[in-house]
Amino acid sequence: MLPQFNMASYHFNSIEKNWQKFWAEHQTFKADNNSELPKYYVLDMFPYPSGAGLHVGHPLGYIASDIVSRYKRHKGFNVLHPMGYDSFGLPAEQYAIQTGQHPAITTEENIKRYRQQLDNIGFSFDWSREVRTTDAQYYHWTQWIFIQLFNAWYNKVSDKAEPISDLIKKFETEGNSNVNAVCDETIVFSANDWDAFSEKEQQAILLNYRLAYLSDTMVNWCPELGTVLANDEVKDGVSERGGYPVERKLMSQWSLRIAAYAERLLQGLDTLDWTESIKEAQRNWIGKSEGTSLTFSLASPLNPLHGRGEPSDVWMVEEEELWYATSDKSKYRLIKDFALENRRNATKEEVIIWEALRNNQIENVKFRRQHIIDKFIADFVSFEYKLVIEIDGLIHSLEDNIISDEARTLVLNELGFNVIRFTNEEVNSNLDGVLGKIKSYISSAVPSTPSPAEKGMGDEAKKRHGESIEVFTTRPDTIFGVSFLTLAPEHELVAQITTDACKVAVENYITISKNRSERDRMADVKTISGEFTGAYAVHPFTKALIPIWIGDYVLAGYGTGAVMAVPAHDSRDYAFAKHFNLPIPQVVEGGDINVESYDAKEGLLINSDFLNGLEVKAAIKKAIEKIETEGLGKGKTNYRLRNAIFGRQRYWGEPIPVYYKEGVPYVVEEKDLPIALPEVDKFLPTETGEPPLARAQNWNYNGHAFETTTMPGWAGSSWYYLRYMDPNNANEMVSAAAVNYWQNIDLYVGGSEHAVGHLLYARFWCKFLKDIGTVPFEEPFKKLVNQGMIQGTICTTYIYTYQNGLNERLKCAISSDLHSQIKAGNSEGVFKLMTEQIGSSFTDCQYVNEVNVPFEFFAAAAFEDFEGLKKWLNSTGNSVTHLIVGTDSKFQVKMETGKMSKRWHNVVNPDDICTQYGADTLRMYEMFLGPLQDAKPWSTQGIEGVHRFLKKAWRLFHNTANEDFVLSNEPATKAELKTLHKTIKKATEDIESFSFNTSVSAFMVCVNELQDLKCNKREILEPFLILLSPYAPHICEELWHLCGHTESIEKAKWPVFNPEFLVENEFNYPISFNGKVRFNLNFALDMEPAAVEQAVLADEQTIKYLEGKTPKKIIVVKGRIVNVVI
């Protein structure tokens, strides 16, 4: 650098270092927890300190939030603007596995680098409040929250989380029948039962209620990473980090019952000042759908629960228990060659009686219909009272013939049953008499104790035993359009209902769909597959037989894992029906179902019995009513949101504060927190496949084994905003005083990639913490602004190879620096960079071994020297024999914009920009690039302009001749004041609306105008410095002190806009003819439209444009425009 003869020129490097030091020493940005000032909390999403360091994309949001923070301080707010590190995470651990270095060391180094980079940009963070999720003093409270979740259950009645101790009290006094909780399926028990349970049994039951619970769940298992991943950590069937394949696996895992909060998480969105797209993303993720459940009874004979592979007539069961368990209210018609129509349609009289008997309506007695007793099927039976009711004397024998009533009665009597018979006529004409007879029998008889098999089962159990199939639908109006049912291949009923004839095909299908990985299934959405089970269900209204299929388009995990297929009005059902040639009955008018399904929720119902002629909306309502009154199902709301899996089989995370006693999980006592992450010899799973923590020596809780999984990455980041309020509190997570003062976050700035993960989990924890009284608010982030990604340039080469007859495209990125190495012919540099790169970018490519000499390959590619490459490949005898390159036999080197990352070698370090142009230029340039929310590719085009602007601003304060600092105390002119106040207005409005790019423009305009006015007056320039200081704090602080101030500019009051200076008394009206502006005329602003009209008409230019015609109309908009209509 040249020696600096003139001390007054703009030496940004030294200026910036000086003021950064000054701010640090004076703790200029320290926020006070005890202030009379109104508070303002501005938060950035804290970074994960990766080894790559910050790139120019990271500071974008930080700069914006820093501008707001500094602005709010000028406006007289007590501003909390902290920063910290989300320092647990996979990359540090992966690095540790490779190098053996402890992740804490790498993390510490990375944090140091991040801090240095952040300091270089001159952020106004209050560093005294820094938090790190990896600090034991921090994760102490992450573990504490886990304990609170473990000790809580969700009460649906109060709609909040409550202490588990209250629940235990309830169990002790009244059992669980009156408890309305969000929980897993569990048995119904009384207070006495609870008392009789062992400790182990009690704990197992409680685990079904706890908000943090252990259960066997299907998880996303990533073998490469050796851990499970949350749904939002999996993209397109591969891990978001690293891009490794992910498979489904059943594992015992810690989970959090976030689904309990689904409705509150959904409702809360309406109260937030977030972009619609992020709210929409969360709504989609929560996935509320309202509809109804609906039960279809099974029509075909059930295979017995046991005895698969027995002779096919095994269903003529001799074992009462067996068929008992599988019958109940289904229309269980054990008829071989019995007339089909009899099977389909219950007689009218049977329906009448059943309507009166079902659901314990009479004397609270449970009746079952169409039940096998011995060799017979009874119309209705109560086991409790050993009572058989027959209508019209018909009992169907299994021998396919009818024997006399007497004979049947005899047999039934022998079995201990009493038989009452009614004729159809009696039912029709004297139902009351019929029911009275039944009642009087019951009241005189003595109930027997049912056998275990006869004992009523809970609804869940019934479903399991397959008397009926429950589906969930949002379109109950289309019930008459159902032409088949589809079950997920994993549906528990499949094995039971599949007929012998279909067994082989169904089992094959299940095997195939099981083995298809998630990834394959996704890649292959278009392929329609399924299999007929051979079984039929009965349509609840028409009583028609409906074939039951299985298909993998139905998901086991959603709804009931079964759908009623309405092909005419659901595109997936339509595709399935077309493929398997199933009927497609239309029930809603509209569309052309020969071409495609008509999914729209509008039109009139047709072919739908009691729904005919109704609009879809009305039909849905009526259908639900009918379904509910008939007891076939009820209105129901489903959420897509799944409970969050909380355990990771990794080392570098918070230990879960749980220990096991006789296999039962208990949380540690709060006084024993934090449970520190133990030392291990290796950061790998044990030989037996246990997580790395299992390697820890002498690591136990009073002799009991600790849980060995750790918390996921999102645990620490779900509450960090609270710790900033009170970062050094050793006794509490956050003091009530601190959280009551700071409240929730006024402005949260971060990337939209966290739309569902972090933002949803943090909201969930906040709601929970509110339920337990730790925080006073329901939503943590009032306003959210998403900064767009700053993208880098990715050079990509496409290579096409023939392997095993497949034409596959390999993709490898060439970074810009690699590209320049190639261009420069520096083969050594090329090889080095390529070696680094091939490893990462080829991991997900199965033909990697075929391209075994990639360096020259790529070098040639960049030169598009196809012939040369081919020659070279032949000379090496390379296995890539058939090479198709591009579409026109050329290598393609394509420039794309994409994520800035180490992987693509396109990271731009902000430090370099700071050295070259200064932090103030970097800050202003990043703001000037465009709207904060937009994604934009990084380019330094234009950075000169911003730098030039700062130099111009500097010169306003300096004599151009000798570069001395000069400031005039003369009063400002009207023109100068107008420029200043225009800028005050614009700068203020733009910060409030986050339009930082336009306010940079406004500063440029201001400086340009002041330069033209040769203004160097204190009255103008000092307020201007305050306006500019949030954007370019260093240069403004320097000039502020040169102006003679001794205190930081940060303490200065924001200038007040005075509209008087902008008042104009004249306006240069554009005069347009038929909307086309031709010339301008100056008129006083207070001139009335009529007068303006006269003046315009009198103008000679107007006369010229009128061409002798009379104007039809003249529109004068005061202070805007004049339009003459000819």
* Cα 874-879-883 angle, rounded to 5 deg: 70
Residue 647 CB contacts under 8 Å (≥ 6 apart), including other chains: 228, 253, 254, 255, 656, 707, 709, 710, 711, 712
- Note the maximum CA span of the chain: 128
Task: Give which of 565, 619, 665, 533 is closest to 199, Cα–Cα.
Answer: 665
Comparison of 381 and 1039: residue with beta carbon closer to RNA: 1039
CA 924, 925, 927, 931 torsion-angle sign: positive
**Burial (CB count <10 Å: 0-12, 13-18, 19+), residue 153:** buried
Comparison of 101 and 1001: residue with beta carbon closer to RNA: 1001
Structural element, H or E, at residue 160 = strand 160-163
Helix (H, G, I), strand (E, B) or coil at 651: coil
C-alpha 987/C-alpha 998 separation (Å) is 9
**CB of residue 763 to RNA, shortest distance in Å:** 16
Comparison of 279 and 375: residue with beta carbon closer to RNA: 279
Task: Report how far apart, in Å, the C-alpha atoms of 832 and of each of 116, 177, 873, 878 are.
Answer: 28, 69, 21, 21
C-alpha 776/C-alpha 1046 separation (Å) is 41
Comparison of 290 and 310: residue with beta carbon closer to RNA: 290
**CB of residue 285 to RNA, shortest distance in Å:** 7
And the tokens for 410? 């005899």
Comparison of 543 and 936: residue with beta carbon closer to RNA: 936
Which residue reads 């208990």 in tokens? 666
**CB of residue 985 to RNA, shortest distance in Å:** 10
C-alpha 356/C-alpha 354 separation (Å) is 5
Comparison of 180 and 284: residue with beta carbon closer to RNA: 284
**CB of residue 274 to RNA, shortest distance in Å:** 11
Residue 491 CB contacts under 8 Å (≥ 6 apart), including other chains: 550, 554, 556, 561, 562
- Using an 8 Å Cβ cutoff, are 1126 and 1106 in contact? yes
Comparison of 243 and 945: residue with beta carbon closer to RNA: 945
And the tokens for 875? 């000379």
Comparison of 501 and 895: residue with beta carbon closer to RNA: 895
**CB of residue 1069 to RNA, shortest distance in Å:** 8
**CB of residue 321 to RNA, shortest distance in Å:** 32
**CB of residue 808 to RNA, shortest distance in Å:** 20
- Using an 8 Å Cβ cutoff, are 171 and 194 in contact? yes
DSSP code, position 605: B
* Total residues belonging to the chain: 1126
**CB of residue 233 to RNA, shortest distance in Å:** 10
Structural element, H or E, at residue 295 = strand 289-298
Comparison of 832 and 936: residue with beta carbon closer to RNA: 936
- Using an 8 Å Cβ cutoff, are 775 and 769 in contact? yes
Structural element, H or E, at residue 790 = strand 790-803
C-alpha 31/C-alpha 1063 separation (Å) is 40
DSSP code, position 38: P
Comparison of 455 and 1104: residue with beta carbon closer to RNA: 1104
Comparison of 953 and 1026: residue with beta carbon closer to RNA: 953
Task: Report how far apart, in Å, the C-alpha atoms of 100 and of each of 94, 106, 951, 975 are.
Answer: 10, 11, 50, 68
**CB of residue 571 to RNA, shortest distance in Å:** 7
Comparison of 507 and 989: residue with beta carbon closer to RNA: 989
DSSP code, position 933: T
Residue 974 CB contacts under 8 Å (≥ 6 apart), including other chains: 1061
Comparison of 33 and 529: residue with beta carbon closer to RNA: 529
**Alpha helices by DSSP H, 590-742:** 616-629, 714-717, 720-723, 736-742
C-alpha 104/C-alpha 817 separation (Å) is 31
**CB of residue 1080 to RNA, shortest distance in Å:** 6
Comparison of 41 and 1083: residue with beta carbon closer to RNA: 1083
Comparison of 207 and 1010: residue with beta carbon closer to RNA: 1010
**CB of residue 1117 to RNA, shortest distance in Å:** 5
Q: How many CA atoms lie within 13 A of 666 on its CB side?
A: 16
**CB of residue 1094 to RNA, shortest distance in Å:** 18
**CB of residue 818 to RNA, shortest distance in Å:** 22
**CB of residue 565 to RNA, shortest distance in Å:** 8
**CB of residue 797 to RNA, shortest distance in Å:** 18
**CB of residue 1068 to RNA, shortest distance in Å:** 5
- 10: phi then psi, degrees, rounded to nearest 5: -80, 95
C-alpha 794/C-alpha 1010 separation (Å) is 42
Comparison of 811 and 1120: residue with beta carbon closer to RNA: 1120
And the tokens for 701? 């809780």
Q: What is the DSSP string of 176-238?
A: TTT--B---------HHHHHHS-HHHHHHHHHTTBSEEEEEEEEEEETTTTEEE-GGGEETTE
